[in-house]
Chains A and B, each alone.
Chain A
């Protein structure tokens, strides 16, 4: 035993230094200059957004994005403010319009700073929602994929959904009836599962109502297939235009229509992880499923999710800009880059900075997210380490 241990120790000495996965990933990431630039711009954008939020919020903000100065319309960038025409409290910071003004004399610099925060929030919240749904559904499909759902629970779920639909369409009596029916059905299923655990002969007779229908994996993946069939931008456009205009609706709708990719990644990762030895070991030790999933499996499956999240944020920012451009984006009190761009298109020749400043900003930020995401993908992909 003693000598065995020594053997192992001496073996260890011959190997290269252990480096943590994070350090290994960073080593590869550093070599990719474009990805590194993306990361730096990403951090800068984050800082600008937070500073912008601090400076443009509150009762008396330092940079007031909504201040209208009708005498100072369409000033080009770096124009000093006209001291004769406007009041002293309406002055922009440093008394100069850093990025010019728009057709209402609002300071574009202040609006861009506010827009940075709005874009960042939309990106993060939308992707947060989509990742949350993706991990839950993908985890269900990957870990509990083989579990077959019995007939009566499926039926009660369907009846419950129908009652929700009736409720939403305002037919309250029908909604109540179907809701009660679904409650009765689920109570029956619960009773059945309790009775059959005890081995009751009575429950056996009801077995014909509880034949297996579909397994969890097919259920989730068919739902993913259904969602993937819709043209995503057109669907987002439809829902956002029909709902009352609000910044939260946009975040939620973008999130609810973009979780399919994450679900697929997480499911695929879980399917391979489930067969690994450390998960079997955890199972054998009697650790609860919840703990296995959250402590052992998700940390191992998070790499592709992180990559798709980074690229997803870029996509969400672009989608918001496109919605604002079509006139159904974030409603007026908030300035967003898409808003500024779409307001500026009327003055393309008179005030080109209204188009170029937000347009190039969106381009640079989205580009940095994409480059960073791709760099991350390469760095986290063990296959690529050899090449």
Chain B
């Protein structure tokens, strides 16, 4: 037994080292691509507002000097990432440090993300397991159909329907993070207000995830309950609850351990539309605003951070998988 544990640890140690360097190389290419995609596009940031009388040619020269735009491309690349890592990178629009801005918005997005993830995981598992156990039943067919509807519906369209419904039925405002001018209201009232503002966008953001994850849970569960050991468990005369939840579910859960790592990147990419509609001051909305304003530092930094999150996520999920399933050797 001790031998076995040592073997795993050694294996994991080498895997960690190797994987770390692989990820580092990947990161290098990601940094190059995310930089070039934005910098090589036609047009310059100074061209956004050519009719602005305050933007004289002198200012343009100053602007280009200030943000290193007059230097060769590889020097710009080096300076960009150097500044990003030492936290000196400034937004082109308001000269605020990019990392500070992102941090501020990150805290706002984090709430949406946590609530959305909780809703997704708490709903998907019961629905998926139920659908798998009663395969072909009315419940299974209804949830399958609704899962497809949720995958297919344009999220902004659905968001408008929900906003109208909630605002007209419950008579509560849901746009933004809280209702304006509530400072005088009671503590409880304000808390309720914030929860309402949080819950609706979280649910809307989670819907696609619920649909996909519940389908995946169902597929996994179906895969497992057709295995021989489930038949053995049934033949032993165990109750069906025990068969499904102790023998079946435990094994069906295995792939989902890895998903804990993979949900990290959803923090940025998944939230652009929902945050725009609900005027939620989060990272997705900041990205959208930066894209419209051609604020290159923020766009590249967000793309880069999202990619880093994905890399960290895959790394964690690989490690988790090795811990949970000793058969895996990466």
Which residues of A are found within 8 Å of B149, using beta-carbon distances?
363, 367
- Given that A238-B291, A326-B273 are contacting pairs, would A243 and B306 also be in contact in the complex, using a CB cutoff of 8 Å? no
Of B40, B72, B292, which one neighbours A241 at CB under 8 angstroms? Answer: B292
Q: Which residues of B contact A (CB under 8 A)?
A: 25-26, 29-30, 33-34, 36-43, 72-73, 144-145, 148-149, 151-157, 160-161, 164, 265, 268-270, 272-273, 276, 284, 287-288, 291-292, 294, 299, 302-303, 306-307, 310-311
- Would A230 and B160 count as touching, CB distance under 8 A? no
User: Can you name the residue of chain A whose Cβ is closest to the Cβ of B33?
Assistant: A226
- Would B272 and A237 count as touching, CB distance under 8 A? yes
Is A49 interfacial (CB-CB < 8 Å)?
A: no
Docked complex Cα distance between A226 and B33 (Å): 9
Docked complex Cα distance between A241 and B38 (Å): 10
- Interface size of A by CB at 8 A reads 47
Of A174, A228, A242, A243, which one neighbours B310 at CB under 8 angstroms? Answer: A228
- Digit string of A359-370 for contact with B (CB within 8 Å is 1, else 0)? 100110011011
| Apart from A231-B265, A234-B268, A237-B288: 20 A-B pairs, beta carbons within 8 A | A169-B39, A222-B29, A226-B29, A229-B311, A231-B268, A231-B306, A233-B269, A234-B287, A234-B303, A241-B292, A242-B43, A243-B41, A243-B42, A314-B152, A321-B154, A325-B156, A338-B154, A359-B157, A362-B157, A363-B157
- Given that A234-B287, A363-B149 are contacting pairs, would A169 and B154 also be in contact in the complex, using a CB cutoff of 8 Å? no
Which residues of B are found within 8 Å of A222, using beta-carbon distances?
25-26, 29
- Would B155 and A348 count as touching, CB distance under 8 A? no
Of A229, A234, A338, A366, which one neighbours B152 at CB under 8 angstroms? Answer: A366
Is A247 interfacial (CB-CB < 8 Å)?
A: no
Which residues of A are found within 8 Å of B144, using beta-carbon distances?
34
Docked complex Cα distance between A244 and B34 (Å): 19
Which residues of B are found within 8 Å of A359, using beta-carbon distances?
154, 157, 160-161
Docked complex Cα distance between A369 and B155 (Å): 17
Which residues of A are found within 8 Å of B269, using beta-carbon distances?
231-234
- Would A370 and B148 count as touching, CB distance under 8 A? yes
Docked complex Cα distance between A168 and B149 (Å): 43
- A residues 181-234 near B (Cβ < 8 Å) are 222, 225-226, 228-234
Which residues of B are found within 8 Å of A140, using beta-carbon distances?
none
Docked complex Cα distance between A233 and B284 (Å): 10
Docked complex Cα distance between A238 and B41 (Å): 10
Docked complex Cα distance between A325 and B38 (Å): 22
Is A99 interfacial (CB-CB < 8 Å)?
A: no
- Would A322 and B41 count as touching, CB distance under 8 A? no
Which residues of B are found within 8 Å of A322, using beta-carbon distances?
154-156, 273
Is A239 interfacial (CB-CB < 8 Å)?
A: yes
